[in-house]
């Protein structure tokens, strides 16, 4: 009778459930799993730190629309990957973490890399379980993948002890699980669809906020159809950018503060009223703002602001319901209203102050000058990865996304260090798209050694480092006899040489005149490259009406 070992069974089960990519680092006791995964047709991407591998896994899951796997060793490997679990949970992105564990027969003995892994992963997952018998591996894999994927997506953890990985069972005794069908596309109640449209029609100053839930549910066609029908002003959330193109005439992105503050009815589409949206509260929102909310999970309704109408269901399915209801009783927000005029005037005023900074050729550059060229150099279909404080916040306003799921950033959790993992995932799972990552000099440092991964796999990723000499900025000259400020980083570092060290291309730009040609060269080369751009150490954002973060 043929036997099968745990490593092969886990690889085969993952492949059966649509896992085509595994990011990770091998060692005790997971080497056989990685080898089996390759044999079963899963692409294994070996990385340099489990944090980056866990970030890559969730980005791959988000881009592909189903969970992928991260493979890590016991103890410290699992602990490093906690960062990814937490980030995935906060972003509502699916991922499966497979952690090796010391043998069950050594539990509690002080085994090599022994850790209570189910315990430590539980707060950061939707599902966390020990696999205690080799023949039950398919059962647990199915549960983990389905739980991470269905409903509000998130992280799942499977604990695989050494003796379970190496254990052999008769193939005839193994019950393979059934293959999980795509996520159910649940619809909202018809009365709620009607109530939502009725509420929208009463708005004088309506605003649609498009979140990454719409990107996740692949609702872009339906959302675009809804905007064409209703002509409502809209704002993209940071990673909702591209579901509606940023350069669409109905976008209020360039008058964000005004649109949020004065809207009387907000239609939230797969977005949350968390810190990114200032909790939906004063002073950034009208205290009397009315909220219509579409979300996959009912428990999200009324978070921070009571929901007037809840549309609970799959983003794409519910948007199709809204469009059908409008088709049977057409309605449009009028073309000429004081609300549209106020938004247009604000967009115009904001453009003036930004244009002046973007035209300033002073050396070292300010952010807006740098982003002027970066924006023009980035191909329209590129995936843009971004992290940093000023670098990410200003970049979000200055760089356009034209297509859904083309922006990956520090996200709801604000995690620095995600960029390289996200970029690796994007280049691996969407190899037809250029990948451009824009990172602050601090953000670059968290996972910088993944440049070796990028160069080893020859991934066509251009990483642009905007160096202002610190966390949110540094100093041009710091007196040698003074202790360095906590936020200060090296002003003379040559980040581009890290890429050269691994066989990639490195460029250093100080003069604004050199920026565009250098970016074009790097991006069009299709080779791993780092473009290091020196930014004035005290360069800042355009004057803000509200200071909401330090
Ligand atoms: C894991 C993690 N550690 C620390 C922080 C705190 N933090 C927020 S932004 C940031 C870096 C900002 O500096 P940089 O990347 O250079 O961008 P800049 O604002 O200078 O453009 C840090 C360390 C964080 N968000 N995440
Ligand atoms: Mg910086």
- At 495, list the tokens: 């980040």
**CA dihedral of 443, 252, 152, 435, whole degrees rounded to 10:** -40
Nearest CA to 365 out of 278, 292, 466 is that of 466
d(CA 535, CA 370): 8
Q: Which residue, judged by its Cα, is nearest atom 3 of ligand 1?
A: 416
List the end-to-end C-alpha distance of the chain, in Å, as a whole number: 65
User: What's the 153 CA to ligand 2 centre distance in angstroms?
Assistant: 32
27: left (phi over 0), alpha (psi -120 to 50) or beta: left
Residue nearest to atom 23 of ligand 1 (CA): 471
Alpha-carbon Rg of the chain, whole angstroms? 24
Query: Which residue matches tokens 């649609």?
Result: 208
pLDDT (0 to 100) of residue 231: 98
299 Cα: distance to centroid of ligand 1 (angstroms): 31
Per-residue pLDDT, averaged over 25-37, amounts to 98
pLDDT at 41 over 60: yes
Q: What is the predicted pLDDT for the residue at 117?
A: 98
Q: Is the pLDDT of residue 353 over 90?
A: no
Tokens coding 507: 């460029």
Answer for the pair 67, 148: CB distance below 8 angstroms, yes or no. yes
Determine the average pLDDT of the residues in 160-164. 98
What pLDDT shows up at residue 543?
58
Of the pLDDT bands very low, low, confident and very high (cuts 50, 70, 90), residue 312 is very high
Q: What is the mean pLDDT of residues 306-310?
A: 98
Q: Find the 412 Cα to ligand 1 centroid distance in Å.
A: 14
- Protein residue closest via CA to atom 2 of ligand 1: 416
Ligand closest to CA 387: 1
CA of 502 to the centre of ligand 2 (A): 24
Please compute the mean of the pLDDT values over residues 32-54 and round it to a whole number. 98
Are 501 and 485 contacting, i.e. CB atoms less than 8 angstroms apart? no
Q: What is the mean pLDDT of the segment spanning 491-508?
A: 97
**Contact present, 94 and 149 (Cβ < 8 Å):** yes
As given in the structure block, the two tokens for residue 218 are 């692949």
> In the structure encoding, which two tokens stand for residue 448, read together?
């910088």
Taking residues 155-179, report their average pLDDT.
Answer: 97
Q: Give the Cα separation of 122 and 145 in Å (integer).
A: 16
Task: Find the 479 Cα to ligand 2 centroid distance in Å.
Answer: 19
Ordered DSSP codes for 286-302: -TT-EEEEEES-GGGTT
Tokens 């092969």 found at: 8
- The half-sphere exposure of 205 on its side-chain side, counting CA atoms within 13 A, is 18
Q: Is the pLDDT of residue 542 over 90?
A: no
Which residues are within 5 Å of ligand 2 (an ion), measured at CB? 440-442, 468
Atom of ligand 1 nearest to the CA of 473: 20
Q: Which ligand is nearest to the CA of 416?
A: 1
Q: Over 60: is that where the pLDDT of 548 sits?
A: no
CA–centroid distance, 498 to ligand 1, in Å, is 20
Q: Which residues line ligand 1 (CB under 6 A)?
A: 388-391, 414-417, 440-443, 466, 468, 470-473
Q: What is the pLDDT of residues 428-439, one digit of tens each?
A: 999 999 999 999
| Model pLDDT for residues 79-114, shown as the tens digit of each residue | 999 999 999 999 999 999 999 999 999 999 999 999
Q: In which band, very low, low, confident or very high, does the pLDDT at 544 lie, cut at 50, 70 and 90? A: low
Residue 549 pLDDT greater than 50, yes or no: no
Q: What is the pLDDT of residues 124-151, one digit of tens each?
A: 999 999 999 999 999 999 999 999 999 9
**Beta strand 3-5 pairing with 168-170:** antiparallel
Determine contact, residues 156/14, Cβ cutoff 8 Å.
no
Per-residue model confidence (pLDDT) at position 550: 36
Of 443, 474, 532, 539, the one to substitute when testing ligand 1's pocket (max ligand atoms within 8 A of C-beta) is 443
For residue 308, pLDDT beyond 80: yes
Q: How far is CA 336 from the centre of its chain?
A: 37
Residues with Cβ within 8 Å of 330's Cβ and at least 6 positions away in sequence, in order, are 229
For residue 447, the ligand closest to its alpha carbon is 1
Query: Which of 80, 366, 416, 540 should be mutated for ligand 1, with most atoms under 8 A from CB?
Result: 416
DSSP string, 195-240: HHHHHHHT-SSEEEEE-HHHHHTT-HHHHHHHHHHH---EEE-TTT
Question: Which of 82, 90, 368, 389 most suits a substitution to test ligand 1, by most atoms within 8 Å of the C-beta?
Answer: 389
Name the residue of 54, 438, 472 whose CB sits within 8 Å of the most ligand 1 atoms, as the mutation to test its pocket.
472
Over the stretch 449-492, which tens digit does the pLDDT of each residue have?
A: 999 999 999 999 999 999 999 999 999 888 989 999 999 999 99
Calpha distance 370→375 (Å, rounded): 9
For residue 444, which atom of ligand 1 is closest to its CA?
A: 15
Q: How far is it, in rounded angstroms, from Cα 142 to Cα 14? A: 8
Confidence of residue 540 (pLDDT cuts 50, 70, 90): confident
pLDDT for the residue 541: 72
- Cα of 439 from ligand 1 centre, angstroms: 10
Q: Which of 52, 91, 388, 464 to mutate to test the pocket of ligand 1 (most atoms within 8 A of CB)?
A: 388
Residue-wise pLDDT for 55-80, tens only, equals 999 999 999 999 999 999 999 999 99
In the predicted model, what is the mean pLDDT of residues 355-369?
96
DSSP letter assigned to residue 418: -
């Amino acid at each position: 009778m043929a036997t099968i070992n745990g490593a092969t069974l886990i690889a085969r089960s993952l492949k059966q459930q649509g896992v085509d990519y595994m990011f990770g680092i091998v060692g005790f006791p997971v080497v056989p799993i990685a080898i089996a995964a390759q044999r079963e047709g899963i692409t294994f991407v070996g990385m340099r730190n489990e944090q980056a591998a866990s970030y890559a896994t969730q980005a791959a899951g988000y881009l592909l629309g189903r969970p992928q796997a991260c493979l890590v060793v016991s103890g410290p490997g699992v602990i490093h990957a906690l960062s990814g679990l937490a980030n995935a949970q906060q972003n509502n992105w699916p991922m499966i973490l497979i952690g090796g564990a010391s043998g069950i027969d050594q539990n509690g003995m002080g085994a090599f890399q022994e850790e209570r892994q189910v315990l430590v992963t539980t707060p950061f997952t939707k599902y966390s379980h020990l696999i205690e018998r080799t023949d039950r591996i398919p059962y647990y894999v199915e549960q983990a993948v389905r739980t991470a994927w269905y409903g509000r997506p998130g992280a799942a953890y499977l604990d695989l002890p050494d003796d379970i990985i190496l254990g052999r069972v008769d193939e005839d005794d193994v019950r393979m699980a059934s293959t999980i069908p795509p996520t159910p596309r649940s619809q909202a109640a018809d009365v709620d669809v009607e109530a939502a449209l009725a509420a929208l029609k009463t708005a004088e100053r309506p605003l649609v906020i498009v979140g990454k839930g719409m990107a996740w549910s692949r609702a872009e066609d339906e959302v675009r159809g809804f905007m064409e029908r209703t002509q409502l002003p809209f704002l993209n959330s940071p990673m909702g950018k591209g579901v509606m193109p940023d350069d669409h005439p109905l976008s209020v992105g360039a008058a964000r503060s005004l649109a949020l503050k004065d809207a009387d009815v907000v239609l939230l589409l797969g977005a949350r009223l968390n810190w990114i949206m200032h909790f939906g509260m004063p002073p950034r929102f009208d205290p009397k703002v009315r909220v219509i909310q579409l979300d996959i999970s009912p428990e999200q309704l009324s978070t921070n602001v009571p929901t007037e109408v809840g549309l609970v269901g799959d983003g794409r399915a519910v948007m199709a319901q809204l469009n059908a209801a409008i088709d049977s009783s057409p309605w449009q927000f009028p073309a000429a209203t004081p609300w549209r005029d106020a938004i247009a005037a604000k967009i115009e005023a904001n453009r003036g102050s930004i244009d002046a900074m973007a035209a300033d050729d002073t050396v070292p550059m300010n952010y807006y000058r740098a982003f002027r060229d970066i924006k023009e150099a980035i191909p329209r279909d590129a995936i843009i990865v971004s992290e940093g404080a000023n670098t990410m916040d200003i970049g979000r306003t200055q760089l356009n996304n034209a297509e859904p799921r083309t922006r990956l950033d520090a996200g709801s959790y604000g995690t620095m260090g995600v960029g390289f993992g996200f970029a690796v995932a994007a280049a691996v799972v969407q190899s037809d798209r250029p990948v451009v990552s824009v990172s602050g000099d601090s953000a670059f440092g968290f996972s910088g050694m993944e440049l070796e991964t990028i160069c080893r796999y020859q991934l066509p990723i251009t990483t642009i480092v905007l160096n202002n000499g610190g966390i949110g900025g540094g100093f041009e000259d710091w007196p040698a006899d003074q202790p360095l400020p906590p936020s200060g980083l090296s002003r003379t570092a040559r980040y581009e040489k890290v890429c050269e060290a691994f066989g990639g291309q490195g460029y250093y730009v100080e003069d604004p005149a050199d920026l565009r040609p250098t970016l074009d060269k790097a991006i069009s080369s299709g080779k791993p490259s780092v473009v290091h751009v020196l930014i004035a150490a005290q360069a800042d954002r355009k004057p803000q009406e509200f200071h909401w973060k330090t």
